[in-house]
Amino acid sequence: MRFGRRRRGYGSTGGLGVPSQLGGRGGRRRGGRVRWLPILLFAIYGAYYYLSNQQEVPLTGRSQLVDMSREQEMALGLQSYRQILGRERILQGGETVSAVNEIGRRIATAAKEHDPGFEWEFNVVESQQANAFALPGGKVAVYTGIVPVAENVDGLAVVMGHEIAHAIARHGAERMAHQKLVQMGTMAAGMAFSDMDMGTQQMVMGALGVGAQYGVLLPFSRDHESEADYMGLIYVARACFDPTEAPKLWERMGRSSKGAPSEFMSTHPSHETRIRQFEQWMPEALKIRRESCPS
């Protein structure tokens, strides 16, 4: 985590196989003018929508676009969590379950000043996937496939701190708002170019779709991942885990995930980018750990 699938439309043909666009006075093709009114209306409403739905991300202070209440977001998160866990095998006990619950409790406590009132819940899913996720409302799941990559308690804390940060930063709601804005822009562009011939419409809409994907949605997604990396690292340090495990974790992730797409085409920063960012943030994290955990 994008927008509605474009319809591939073609002009209907009459009995002689002549495209309907060629009809009309003198058999000329329809005009290719751009209708500017839909673009103008979208620009006005889009600016109003963006400016009137600004929130502030805890810890980083970044302004973000969110248009739903926390209650709505938490209800959607709980619904999705139940659906996902209903399809998975959930471990009920054991060393991994105990570790995940203890790590989650400590990190949630460290992030308490930014917690809007989540009811934290931590589950372990038996799966070979090297994955974990957190949904609004504090619903966290860790897949057993990530445990060997995490390698130790501090590595697992880095994974869970990152996911907990996603929930606290409301990244899911922000992505939905961005997608909504892109969909509105796509609809406005469709109306603006509706007088053009079908081939030109498809070319223009295709270019706009690619531009929105690679110029808006994917960069925002990578920014969310980096922000969750930073926030999670701070929470890990406050919870008295070892933050220096973060770059080591992503070195291991890089070795275990070959053939990843280039960063430009990905929703996540490259492993090399993440390692470099962790090294930049590490002095702050170590200072926080010393102050929070003097023993």
Per residue in 147-176, pLDDT tens?
Answer: 999 999 999 999 999 999 999 999 988 988
Amino acid at 149: V
pLDDT of residue 163: 93
Which of 260-264's residues contact partners 24+ apart within 8 Å by CB, and which partners? 263/222, 264/214, 264/218
pTM higher than the cut 0.85: no
Task: Determine whether 284 is an active site residue.
Answer: no
β-bridge partners, 65: 54
Phi/psi at 124 (5° precision): -115, 125
Active-site residue identified among 71, 73, 95, 163: 163
Answer whether residue 3 shows pLDDT above 50. no
| 3-state class (DSSP) for residue 197 | coil
Burial class of residue 240 (count of CB atoms within 10 Å of its CB; 0-12, 13-18, 19+): middle
Per residue in 172-221, pLDDT tens?
Answer: 889 888 888 878 777 766 666 666 666 665 665 565 455 544 444 444 47
Instruction: Calculate the alpha carbon distances from 39 to 36, 101, 206 in Å.
Output: 5, 51, 17
Write out 5-61 in H/E/C secondary structure.
Answer: CCCCCCCCECCCCCEHHHCCHHHCCCCCCCCHHHHHHHHHHHHHHHHCCEEECCCCC
Higher per-residue pLDDT: 226 or 193: 226
Average pLDDT, stretch 121-133? 93
**Confidence bin at 21 (pLDDT 50/70/90):** very low
* DSSP-assigned letter for residue 277: H
Give the residue among 126, 160, 149 at the shortest CA–CA distance from 271.
Answer: 149
**Alpha-helix runs per DSSP H in 143-270:** 147-150, 153-168, 171-192, 198-212, 218-238, 245-256
* DSSP-assigned letter for residue 122: E
Amino acid at 260: A
b/e sequence 135-164, b meaning 16+ C-beta within 10 Å = bbbbbbbbbbbbbebbeeebbbbbbbbbbb
